[in-house]
Amino acid sequence: MSMAIEIVQLLIQSADSWLFEGSRSGLSDREWMALRFLARANRFSRTPTALASFLGTTRSVASQIAAVLQNKGLVARKPSADDKRSITLCITGDGERFLERDPINALRDQIVALEVPDRSRLRDTLRRVLVGLDVAQRRHHTDVCSQCMFLIESGERKERQFKCRLFRKSLAQKETSLFCAYFEGQT
């Protein structure tokens, strides 16, 4: 148990470098989380509903957070290409430049400095921990398309094609590394 407590303390200390900063960098912690999510979300997940699911909040609160980001010029609301009743939340050029100053980049850089096997173990271990937390708290897990049971891959290596069975839409290979709020783990 003492090792588990030590690991939790280390996670808290690492979070202190990029979380709980109030609005020191111009955004609250939740606004940073929303901006980070929208920058890494696939086209199906850049909606107020998906953002609310990721943040673990109501659609109304997620819309308020999106409105703050929009007022700061970091996010734009656009009509959905698939459903004209819906909107898509898109990161603007200013939003992308703002993310270059993201406090989490210091943590990212330390992780990049690790050897590849260590990074892989850390990623896989944290993924298992987060899945366990999501199950225990009965919340929906968000993850990357490449790990999702809905992803279909076909074709040879150079001409690999991807499709989401849930949305019945083709995906570009680069989209398979983005977050999806409708993720379902492979069994």
| Angle (nearest 5°) at CA 134 between 77 and 66 | 15
All structural domains of the chain, each given as residue ranges with its CATH number in brackets, are 2-113 (1.10.10.10)
Placement of tokens 């049971």 in the chain: 149
Cα–Cα dist 114/125, whole Å: 15
Is the pLDDT at 143 greater than 90? The verdict is no
Is the pLDDT at 135 greater than 70? The verdict is no
3 state SS of 171: strand
CB 98 within 8 A of CB 74: yes
**pLDDT tens digits, 85-100:** 788 999 999 999 999 9
Which segments of 30-156 are extended strands (E)? 75-79, 87-91, 143-144, 151-154
**pLDDT tens digits, 65-74:** 999 999 999 9
**pLDDT tens digits, 17-66:** 766 555 667 888 889 999 999 999 998 899 999 999 888 889 999 999 99
Task: List all residues 6 or more positions away from 114 whose beta carbon is below 8 Å from its beta carbon.
Answer: 122
Q: What tokens appear for 60 in the block?
A: 């109304």
Q: pTM for the complete prediction? A: 0.79
pLDDT of residue 29: 85
